[in-house]
Amino acid sequence: MRYKTRTLEKELVRAVGHFPALLVTGPRRSGKTTLLRHLFPSAQYVLLEDPDVVARVRADPHSFLDSLTLPVILDEMQNVPGLFAYLRARIDHHPERKGEWLLTGSQEAPLMKGVTESMAGRVAVFSLLPFSAEEVSTTTLLQGGFPEVLAAPDVADIWFRSYIQTYLERDVRAVTSIRDLSTFRRFMGLLAGRCGQMLNKTDLAAPLGVSVPTITQWLGILEITGQIILTPPYYENFGKRIVKTPKLYFVDSGLVASLLGIRDASSLATSPFLGPLFEGLVASEIVKHRLNRGQERNLYYFRDRQGLEVDFVLDEGNRRLLLIEAKATRTPMPDDARSMIRLRAAMPPHAVSRAAVIHAGTAERAAPTPLCPGIRAMGWHALHALLEETNHPA
Ligand SMILES: Nc1ncnc2c1ncn2[C@@H]1O[C@H](COP(=O)(O)OP(=O)(O)OP(=O)(O)O)[C@@H](O)[C@H]1O
Ligand SMILES: [Mg+2]
C-alpha cells in the first residue's frame, strides 16, 4: 500500500519545533514507525529491539548516545526504558534544541510508567491508533483500520489471528506474569461479547476462574496498549442520579469482529452484535478524531437510574456538549433521536450545542439531513466533518 497521510502528522510537525522530544505510542501495527520515518526522512533511525543493540545500549548508554547523529528516531524505546534518564540529562543540558529525539514506544512496559511525568515539558506524547475513516475512506466496520488488514483484506482472518497471538505473547507476557495465556485469550473473547455494555468485572472474573483484581489488571493492559476504550459516564450535577460504571469498546472494529468469529458481511448483518459493534466504531472514530488533533478524549455516555440513555456525550469545552446516538441502520428515524431530546430538555438551556444520529449508511449517502428540530442524521463517514465543526465553528 502506498503511504497514506496520517492526520497526526500536523500535530507532530507543530510539536517538533517546540519540544526537545516527541513520543508516539499506540497499539501494535498502527503505523508508528512508518509515520516517523516518513515524516522525518533525514533523521537517523535506530531500532532498539535486536538483543545485541539493546545490550550495548544498556551497558554503555553514554557511548550509544554519543554515537548518534541528531535528529534520531529511537524506535521501541520501551525495550530500554533506562535510557530516558540519560536522554533527560542531555535535553536539560541543551533545552533550546528542539525536535532532536523522535521516539516510539509502548507504554505498557512497567518501567515506562512515570516516564512521561519525569519528562514533563520535554517530551510531547502522542497516541497513534489504526486508520480512521477520515484517513482511509475504504475502512469498513468489518475490517477496521489496521493498515495491513486494509492492504490485504482477503487474509484479514489470518492477520487478526496472528495479531492476537503475537500481541499476547509479546506485550501481555512482558507486562505481567500471565502464565496462562490461553485464559487471557478467552478473556479477550469474553470482552468482545461485552462490547458496548457497562463493564461488570465480577461477571467477567467468574467464568474465567480468576479474581476481580486480575480482571482489573488485564483491562489495564488492554487499555494502556490501545486495544480498548473505556468510556466513563457523564456526570454533571443536574439533579439526576446517574450510573458510574464505564462502558467498554474495542479500538478496532475488525479485531473485535474477528474475536467474535464474524468473518463476512452477511454474518455481520444478521449478528446480534451488529448494534454494539457499530456503536464501538463510532466511539473509536470519535477518539481517533480527538487524539489525532492532540485533544483530550472527553467522551462519555449518559445513563440515569430511570433508564434514560444516550450513547455518547462529547464535552467540546466551554461547557458545550455534543450528543450522539449510533444506530446500525441505513434509515434513521425521528424516534432514534428520542432519548437525546429528553436529555437535552433535562439539561440547562444551551448546554447541548449539537445533537446527531450517526447511521450506518454508505459513504455516498452520509451527508447530514435534518431529523427533528435541532437534530441531524448523518452516516458515519460524515462524523469527522461533524466533529470538525467545533474546531471551525460556522
Ligand atoms: N501511513 C501508512 N500508509 C500505508 N501503509 C502503512 C502506513 N502506516 C503503516 N503502514 C503499513 O502498516 C504496517 C505496520 O506499520 P508500522 O510498522 O509502521 O507499525 P508500528 O505501529 O510501528 O508497528 P509495531 O508496533 O509492530 O512496531 C507496515 O506494513 C506498513 O507498511
Ligand atoms: Mg514499529
Do 172 and 106 share a domain, yes or no?
Answer: no
| CATH number of the domain residue 119 falls in | 3.40.50.300
Do 110 and 157 share a domain, yes or no?
Answer: no
Whether residue 239 is contained in a domain is answered as yes
**What is the residue with the minimal CA distance to atom 1 of ligand 1?**
4
Q: What is the pLDDT of residues 238-252, one digit of tens each?
A: 556 667 799 999 999
Whether residue 138 is contained in a domain is answered as no
pLDDT level of residue 115 (50, 70, 90 thresholds): confident
Range scoring the smallest mean pLDDT among 101-115, 195-209, 248-262, 309-323 = 101-115
Do 169 and 21 share a domain, yes or no?
Answer: no
Q: Is the CB of 37 inside a 6 Å radius of any atom of ligand 1?
A: no
Q: According to the model, what pLDDT value does residue 244 have?
A: 79
pTM of the model: 0.95
Q: Of the residues 64, 92, 127, which one is the last residue of a structural domain?
A: 127
Do 153 and 34 share a domain, yes or no?
Answer: no
In angstroms, what is the span from residue 283 Cα to ligand 2's centroid? 25
Neighbours of 206 (CB within 10 A): 12
pLDDT level of residue 394 (50, 70, 90 thresholds): very low
Whether residue 370 is contained in a domain is answered as yes
**113 pLDDT more than 70:** no
Percentage of residues in the chain having pLDDT higher than 90: 76
**135 pLDDT more than 60:** yes
Q: Which domain holds residue 60?
A: 8-127
Do 204 and 244 share a domain, yes or no?
Answer: yes
Q: Is the CB of 32 inside a 6 Å radius of any atom of ligand 1?
A: yes
Whether residue 140 is contained in a domain is answered as no
Percentage of residues in the chain having pLDDT higher than 70: 94
Do 54 and 193 share a domain, yes or no?
Answer: no
Whether residue 329 is contained in a domain is answered as yes
Cα distances (angstroms) measured from residue 359 to each of 81, 91, 282 = 44, 48, 9
Instruction: Assign 61 to helix, strand or coil.
Output: helix
**6 pLDDT more than 60:** yes
Do 24 and 102 share a domain, yes or no?
Answer: yes
Q: Of the residues 75, 95, 127, which one is the last residue of a structural domain?
A: 127
Do 304 and 378 share a domain, yes or no?
Answer: yes
Q: According to the model, what pLDDT value does residue 94 have?
A: 95
Pocket test for ligand 1, best of 3, 34, 73, 139 (most atoms within 8 A of CB): 34
Do 107 and 184 share a domain, yes or no?
Answer: no
Do 295 and 386 share a domain, yes or no?
Answer: yes
Q: Of the residues 95, 127, 159, which one is the last residue of a structural domain?
A: 127
Q: What's the structural domain count of the chain?
A: 2
In angstroms, what is the span from residue 304 Cα to ligand 1's centroid? 42
In angstroms, what is the span from residue 386 Cα to ligand 2's centroid? 32
**121 pLDDT more than 90:** no
Sign of CA dihedral 352, 358, 363, 367: negative
Do 78 and 157 share a domain, yes or no?
Answer: no
Whether residue 118 is contained in a domain is answered as yes
**112 pLDDT more than 70:** no
Do 264 and 200 share a domain, yes or no?
Answer: yes
Instruction: Assign 120 to helix, strand or coil.
Output: coil
**56 pLDDT more than 60:** yes
Q: What is the pLDDT of residues 73-89, one digit of tens each?
A: 999 998 888 898 999 99
Whether residue 175 is contained in a domain is answered as yes
Range scoring the smallest mean pLDDT among 66-70, 109-113, 216-220, 241-245 = 109-113
Cβ-count burial 106-118 (b if 16+ within 10 Å, e if not) = bbbbeebeebbee
Q: What is the pLDDT of residues 279-322, one digit of tens each?
A: 999 999 999 999 999 999 999 999 988 889 999 999 988 778 99
Instruction: Assign 261 to helix, strand or coil.
Output: coil
Q: Averaged over 126-143, what is the pLDDT? A: 95
